[in-house]
Structure 1
């Protein structure tokens, strides 16, 4: 059995950040990353942005040489079967056992399946392999149907239209992104997509996926040689739940230091319901920068360095010729104030009179 040390389960920003941070402070303790993804750790935000559109092909977080030079042992394409918090062991599906002194759970999220007839034939866009498959399929297609009006759905639809495909976005709500940002923003995003060449079909759902497109609840048949299921993600808390760690609202409960309810076990990224010091309450953060920040905190805590999660969550998205930047706590708001400005607009979201989020939308300069 390999010598015990630090283990991160997951090769996304949270797992890599935690491992990198711990290694900087403990150069001789074994550090391992176990990941079900066979690809070298990579950045996911560009998958529905530059990468799909034909650019930004270098997605690696670090090179193979960097991991070797920093003595971080990568185990890729490995599925963890279970963790034993009593013996402090991680056991893989193949039966390999790894003892740990400190363990960071950062498995991320899995795409929510499209549960309709033919839904399993729709292409997800969650991993590098998904993005490669979608990019290749789009090269030999003339039409595309994208299901889901969230950030990934909107970005993907705009990119496919920009690649020359006749693209339709099917949105179950009255407007894209309206559930997250409100109806005023939803209407503007609808126009962004239309200006980008996307046909937007709202207030309906897909009831069947066929070989040449989808059928929606209204009975309309929408052409799609390529069908993308951007139907959301679900945090992968299986390992934590089976190990008896405290969970709530489908996530792993952690404190501001990223500590779970089990000794020497931490969690970071999508799977967490984490206490944020600045917010003064538990917060769900589902985006890249937040995961990297939580991984940093987990790595510092495991290394014995005081650290808390106190950053305001945030993310950015690109839809057509516009960039959307959000900072805030998410969740519900009582009021929203939209103000127009040159080349875009801004929105302040308030709850109980307090600003809980801001959205800035700006037009990108012409290339």
Structure 2
């Protein structure tokens, strides 16, 4: 077994930032990142935006030399079998054991499969490998169906349409992003999609996928050469659950410093349900910025410094010529108020008298 040190499971924003933060504080303690991803750590937000739209944004966060220069071991394509809490070891599927003094679980989330006959043929968009396959498929397709009316589905559909692919977005809700942002915002997002060349088929469920497209409830068919599943993600908390860590709603429960229920074990990013000091409760982290901040806090805590999660979550997405930015808790609201602007709109969400979120849509004239 190799010398014990600081171990991170996962190479996304939470895991990479945790490793960077700990390394800056402790230049001599071994730092290792174990990831199932075969690629170098990369930025995920551009995958459903610029990259899928056909542009080539900078995705790599660090080159191989950076890891060598900073003394961080990056083990790619590694499957972790289990965590041995008693002996403080991470055990891979190949049987190799890595001892840890501190361990950060940053295993992220996995796409929810399209659970219908033929659903396995649908492409997803979660990893760089997914994006490469999808972009190549889009280049060779004249028509597409995107299943799922959330933000990723909307971004993917607008990008496919921008590339000249006749695209239909299918969702069970009457408007896109209904569950997250409500009817008023959803109606305007539907208009954005329409303006981008996307046909929105709301109130419809896909019941099967075949070689010629998808079949909807009631037997209607939408023909497509390409089918994309954007039906959500599920936290990848299986390692934590097998180690009997506290889990709630499929996420690993942590305090504001990212401590889990096990000593010297932390969780950050999509897999974590962390206590936010400002909110006064635990809330899920679902986006890049939050995951990065939680990774910084986990690395700082493990390094012996005081840090606590207090930031208000924030994220953005791009649909056609519009950029949508949301800042808030994202855990429900009682009512909302929409204000139209010259180049977009703003929706304010409240629980009682408290503002719990603000969604802003702004047109980019150059888009």
- Confirm or deny a common fold (TM above 0.5): yes
Q: Match for residue 347 of structure 2?
A: 347
Q: Match for residue 182 of structure 1?
A: 182
Shift of 1:341: 1.2
Matches within 5 A, 1:71-86: 71-86=71-86
Which stretch shifts more, 97-106 or 339-348?
Answer: 339-348
Shift of 1:35: 0.2
Matches within 5 A, 1:9-88: 9-88=9-88
Unpaired segments ≥5 residues, structure 1 = none
SS state at 1:51 partner: coil
Q: Match for residue 314 of structure 1?
A: 314
Shift of 1:366: 2.0
Shift of 1:2: 0.8
Q: Match for residue 169 of structure 1?
A: 169
Q: CA RMSD in A?
A: 0.7
Post-superposition CA distance 1:151-209 (Å, at most 9, x none): 00000000000000100000110100011000000000000000000000000110010
SS state at 2:310 partner: coil
Cα contact 1:214–1:223 (8 A) shared by 2:
yes
Cα contact 1:204–1:218 (8 A) shared by 2:
no
Cα contact 1:30–1:72 (8 A) shared by 2:
yes
Unpaired segments ≥5 residues, structure 2 = none
Quick one: distance in 2 between partners of 1:175 and 1:5? Answer: 49
Quick one: distance in 1 between partners of 2:298 and 2:36? Answer: 21
Quick one: distance in 1 between partners of 2:197 and 2:175? Answer: 16
Quick one: distance in 2 between partners of 1:117 and 1:152? Answer: 23
Quick one: distance in 1 between partners of 2:350 and 2:56? Answer: 36
Quick one: distance in 1 between partners of 2:194 and 2:247? Answer: 41
Post-superposition CA distance 1:284-339 (Å, at most 9, x none): 12001000000000000000000000100010000011000001001110111111
SS state at 2:94 partner: coil
Q: Match for residue 114 of structure 1?
A: 114
Q: Match for residue 269 of structure 1?
A: 269
Which stretch shifts more, 28-37 or 50-59?
Answer: 50-59
Cα contact 1:106–1:268 (8 A) shared by 2:
yes
Shift of 1:39: 0.5
Number of aligned positions between the proteins: 367
Quick one: distance in 1 between partners of 2:334 and 2:55? Answer: 40
SS state at 2:190 partner: helix
Matches within 5 A, 1:1-367: 1-367=1-367
Shift of 1:8: 0.4
Cα contact 1:340–1:346 (8 A) shared by 2:
yes
Post-superposition CA distance 1:78-128 (Å, at most 9, x none): 010000111000000011100000000000000001110100000011110
SS state at 2:170 partner: strand
Quick one: distance in 2 between partners of 1:319 and 1:171? Answer: 16
Shift of 1:340: 1.0
SS state at 1:136 partner: helix
Quick one: distance in 1 between partners of 2:365 and 2:293? Answer: 30
SS state at 2:270 partner: coil
Cα contact 1:46–1:56 (8 A) shared by 2:
no
Quick one: distance in 1 between partners of 2:9 and 2:69? Answer: 20
